[in-house]
Amino acid sequence: MRRRARLLVLAPLLAVALLAPAGGAAAATDRLPDLAMARLQNIVTDQASGRRLLRFSAIIVNVGSGPMEVRSQRPNVNTNWTTQQVIYDDAGGSRTVTPPRVELIYGGDGHNHWHVKDVESYQLVPVNGTGERVGNKVGFCFFDNYQYKLSLAGAPQAAQYPRTSCGNRYSRTLRHGLSVGWGDKYQWSLPDQYIDTTGLPDGNYRLWATADQANVFVESNDANNSTWADLRIDASGVTVLRRAPNP
């Protein structure tokens, strides 16, 4: 009887051992976004109300392995937003991180949606000398509006973050972002998409455009956050001399 009792005890233990995996399950790996700036386009000068404005189209793109997604919420329309970045992984899960110093501002100048403040920055720097000028625009909303490189692994062939993701004045939740291989293009003709060059002397300048200059968001590569274009600015307008390659 003792031998049989021992076998009855060992049987379920043996079954558990056979069902258990040979090794521990592999940890999920983050699919991080990678914000970068594509080559600047449509660089022109514009005379407006006695000022000379340097206008250009800027395209922030995501060339990472996962989407750049930002979610914001507030309990009512009279309170401030709280914002998290969502990071997806290769096991189908996700986690959230709270980025520092994120502020949302409402663009009521024709955009009529919410923007993340200071996601992009623009500088015009003289090649020889001093007198840097900075861009007028301070807020940007992420959404898929430019097909940049849909051959990247994980790039959806259709936009996943529409313009409506940026909400309206009375929104209380936002889910805005950039899919892998997609970009967000700010056209040269949009309000505030310029650098005021009034009074600048004729000469050669380098125009810089930078995404996430303060490194607020988690991404896989910070080295490609900037792009540049070398310009000649004089009384006849602006001439593009050379540009950085696309990321």
Give a three-class secondary structure readout of 116-138: EECCEEEEEEECCCCCCEEECCC
Domain assignment of residue 118, given as a range? 28-243
Residue 144 in any domain: the answer is yes
Q: Domain with 216 in it: what CATH number?
A: 2.60.40.10
Q: One digit per residue, pLDDT tens: the chain, 247 residues?
A: 444 444 444 444 444 444 444 555 568 999 999 999 999 999 999 987 789 999 999 999 999 999 999 999 999 999 999 999 999 999 999 999 999 888 898 876 666 889 888 788 999 999 987 779 999 777 788 899 999 999 999 999 999 999 999 899 999 999 999 999 999 999 999 888 999 999 999 999 999 999 998 889 999 999 999 999 999 999 899 999 999 999 9
Taking Cα atoms as reference points, which of 46, 32, 35 lies closest to residue 209? 35
Query: Of 233, 229, 231, 237, which Cα lies nearest the Cα of 210?
Result: 229
Residue-wise pLDDT tens digits, 55-100: 999 999 999 999 999 999 999 999 999 999 999 999 999 999 999 8
- From CA 91, how far away is CA 59, in angstroms rounded? 30
Number of domains in the chain: 1
